[in-house]
Chains A and B, each alone.
Chain A
Amino acid sequence: GAGVSQSPRYKVAKRGQDVALRCDPISGHVSLFWYQQALGQGPEFLTYFQNEAQLDKSGLPSDRFFAERPEGSVSTLKIQRTQQEDSAVYLCASSKQGDQPQHFGDGTRLSIL
């Protein structure tokens, strides 16, 4: 596709369940970013990949959060043992190189009950 694709668009899970969120970046984009956007707030950086290498995971809020990009294309953000405070929109962005503008997907809205 032409843009960044994220799935699912909406995810509802019970507290304690594990979830997996998928991001399909723009073809050929080397850099991939994950952001978390709480209600009424701006997005906050979670983690960054250059190809398959995770170069920065300083924004991951706890060890329950894990991201991977094994073949340098599609990325998955996994949250284990979800908590209510994990409820947010998770945005994925990609760019050609690190210093090029980031193009965002429509996000996954995660609700933890």
Chain B
Amino acid sequence: AQSVTQLGSHVSVSEGALVLLRCNYSSSVPPYLFWYVQYPNQGLQLLLKYTSAATLVKGINGFEAEFKKSETSFHLTKPSAHMSDAAEYFCAVTWGGATNKLIFGTGTLLAVQP
């Protein structure tokens, strides 16, 4: 079955440090890929998306992600963490089709230490 794996359910970084959140998908067919952020008691907000254009995708709040087909990965990065980045981050994929339903990873909770 097609799936998404997020390595590391909890990641802690210092303010100003690099943020790296990992996402891998299982399929030989490149999917559409997304990163969403979820703040407590809120819905999911789209950070960025990859839809087979440029492999390096820039999103909101200084985040970016690089699609690497050879590694079936779509890791999320930010050069310098800010306290306001503390939230849960979800990688999601869809392989299109009639439904375009999203398949989500289990999420990574990012903590930012002062």
The chain A residues found within 8 Å of chain B, CB to CB, are 4, 6, 31, 33, 35, 40-45, 48, 55-56, 59, 91, 93, 95, 98-99, 101-107, 109
Contact = CB atoms under 8 A, between A and B. Distances in A.
Contacts, number: 63
Interface residues of B, number: 24
Interface in B26-72: 32, 34, 36, 41-46, 49
Interface of B: 4, 32, 34, 36, 41-46, 49, 90, 92, 96, 98-107
Given A45-B102, A56-B98, A98-B98, A106 B34 contact: no
Nearest to B48: A101
B90 A56 contact: no
Given A91-B43, A106-B42, A101 B34 contact: yes
A35 B43 CA distance: 11
